[in-house]
Every structure is written in structure tokens, then in C-alpha cells.
């Protein structure tokens, strides 16, 4: 679901286990075709060379950011996809403004850039944990909109995704990390602290979705309890964005008709 700019968002009333009435089989069949088309459009984006695509992924812990990246780009040339993971800032990053570390990871011409977490952490975790005072984080929505407008004006197609799981689904996924020895490494006791602040995070996400969904950089809320439905929706949005971008293969530099390869 696209967040129309300027509208109110109530996450509590959006079902995280929505499947759009699709069966898993149908969704997976449609997804397969879209993942292939995304690969072709990625090639066209590269050949065209005038635009770039930025995908921003945000979610609560266990929300499925990594799995989404893995699945959605399974048919896309890895050379054209640049993934940036934003973790707790280093002391050098903290000594600068919060967009300083972000800008260098924005995609170049022809590339697809994926932000696995992003500058939005600076109005999410930073706000929820009170890492900077409200008078600082509350001004950031305007900075972020201006920053994204700059990127869009300079040729970046931006699509932002909030993967929406509910608290019960997070419990199941955390439990699986405890129970399955091959997933133990993913269990991080710190995730439980964030889980205790679930309602604060939802309030912070709602503000993000309401204040920073713009025509040039819209947010999409993706019901994500079911991974197969999540993958389909994300792929649909990306494919549509690239289909609408007016991309074309460049004309060859010379007339190729008379050329004979000996």
C-alpha cells in the first residue's frame, strides 16, 4: 500500500498477515515473472545510463529486510546492485551530521542502490532511545525530504518500503532463532530490548510514514508476515517504477548495417 503524501497512517489497522486474497502458489508464480522482469529492467537501467534507483528498506528486527533483498534481486545482475547496511554509527560518523555517511552510498548512474536500514534510523531508533533531544530529531523530517528531493532532481528514482510484521510474528521469528541451531547466530539479546519498546517504534514509524512520503520518494507499507506476499509486493513496486522511467537502450554509435565480422 502506497502512502499518499499528506495522509494519516494507522499501522494498528493495517493487517500484517494480509495476503491480498492470493494463494501462495499464485503469488509465487507472479513473483517469479516479476523477478525476471526486474533483472531485464536492471540491465536496461544500466544501458540507458541516465537514471538510478534507490530502494530504502526499513523494518523492525526480524522484519525480513535481508530475505527481501535476496529474493527480489535473485534474477538481477549483482554487479548492478549496491547494497549498503547502516549500523550503529562509528565515532567518526557521529562527529558529522547524520546524512554525511548516507550520501556516499547513494547509487550512481545505471545502478540500483539498496539501503538496508537508512537515514530513517535517525528518526526511529534515535528518537525511541532518546539518543538526541527532540528539538534535534524533530527537524530531521524536513532535512530528509529536502535530501531526497535533491537525489530525485538529479535523476534518482526512489522507492521506500516499510516491511510491516506484527508483534506475534516477531515472537515466532525470534523463537525460531532460538530453536534452530542454524539460526542461533542471528539471535541478538539486544533485539529483546527493542521489542519492549514496540509501541514507541510504531509511533515513530507512523510519523515517518506521514511526514516523509512524497511524490518523488513515496513510502510503501508492505504486509510482511507472509514472505511470499511481501516479495511479490516489493517486486511489483520496483518493476512498475522502472517500467515508468522512460528508459531506453542507447542508439549504436555507428551504422552497424554494413559491418562484417571476418
The residue with its CB nearest to ligand ADP is 121
Residue 184 touching ligand ADP (CB under 6 A)? no
Instruction: Find the binding residues for ligand ADP in span 99-118 (CB under 6 A).
Output: 116-117
Residue 59 touching ligand ADP (CB under 6 A)? no
**Which range binds ligand ADP by CB under 6 A, 47-55, 71-79, 80-88, 211-219?**
80-88
Interface residue with ligand ADP, options 13, 88, 92, 253 (CB under 6 A) = 88
Residue 208 touching ligand ADP (CB under 6 A)? no
d(CA 218, CA 213): 4
Question: Are residues 234 and 161 in contact, defined by beta-carbon separation less than 8 angstroms?
Answer: yes
Q: Kindly state the smallest distance separating residue 94's Cβ from ligand ADP, in Å.
A: 8
Give whichever of 18 and 121 is closer to ligand ADP, judged by the CB atom.
Answer: 121
Give whichever of 125 and 241 is closer to ligand ADP, judged by the CB atom.
Answer: 125
Site string for ligand ADP, 121-150 (x = CB under 6 A): xx--xx------------------------
Residue 83 touching ligand ADP (CB under 6 A)? no
The single residue listed with the C-alpha cell 530504502 is 56
Q: Which residues bind ligand ADP (CB under 6 A)?
A: 61, 86-89, 116-117, 121-122, 125-126, 188
Amino acid at each position: 500500500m502506497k502512502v499518499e503524501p499528506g495522509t494519516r497512517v494507522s499501522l494498528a489497522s493495517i493487517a500484517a498477515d494480509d495476503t491480498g486474497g492470493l494463494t501462495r502458489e499464485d503469488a509465487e508464480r507472479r513473483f517469479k515473472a516479476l523477478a525476471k522482469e526486474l533483472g531485464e529492467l536492471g540491465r536496461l537501467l544500466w544501458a540507458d545510463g541516465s537514471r538510478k534507483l534507490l530502494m530504502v528498506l526499513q523494518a523492525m528486527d526480524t522484519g525480513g529486510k535481508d530475505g527481501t533483498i535476496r529474493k527480489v534481486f535473485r534474477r538481477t545482475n549483482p554487479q548492478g546492485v549496491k547494497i549498503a547496511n547502516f549500523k550503529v554509527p562509528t565515532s567518526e560518523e557521529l562527529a558529522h551530521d547524520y546524512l554525511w555517511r548516507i550520501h556516499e552510498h547513494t547509487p550512481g548512474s545505471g545502478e540500483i542502490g539498496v539501503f538496508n536500514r537508512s537515514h530513517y534510523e535517525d528518526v526511529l531508533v534515535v528518537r525511541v532511545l532518546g539518543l538526541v533531544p527532540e528539538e534535534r530529531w524533530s527537524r530531521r523530517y524536513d532535512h530528509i525530504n529536502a535530501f531526497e528531493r535533491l537525489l530525485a532532481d538529479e535523476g534518482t528514482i526512489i522507492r521506500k518500503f516499510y516491511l510491516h510484521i506484527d508483534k506475534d510474528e516477531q515472537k515466532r521469528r525470534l523463537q525460531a532463532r532460538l530453536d534452530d541451531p542454524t539460526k542461533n547466530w542471528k539471535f541478538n539479546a539486544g533485539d529483546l530490548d527493542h521489542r519492549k519498546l514496540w509501541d514507541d517504534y510504531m509511533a515513530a514509524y507512523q510519523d515517518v510514514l506521514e511526514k516523509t512520503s512524497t511524490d518523488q520518494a513515496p513510502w510503501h507499507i508492505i504486509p510482511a508476515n507472509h514472505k511470499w506476499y511481501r516479495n511479490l509486493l516489493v517486486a511489483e513496486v520496483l518493476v512498475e517504477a522502472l517500467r515508468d522511467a522512460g528508459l531506453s537502450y542507447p542508439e549504436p554509435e555507428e551504422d552497424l548495417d554494413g559491418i562484417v565480422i571476418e
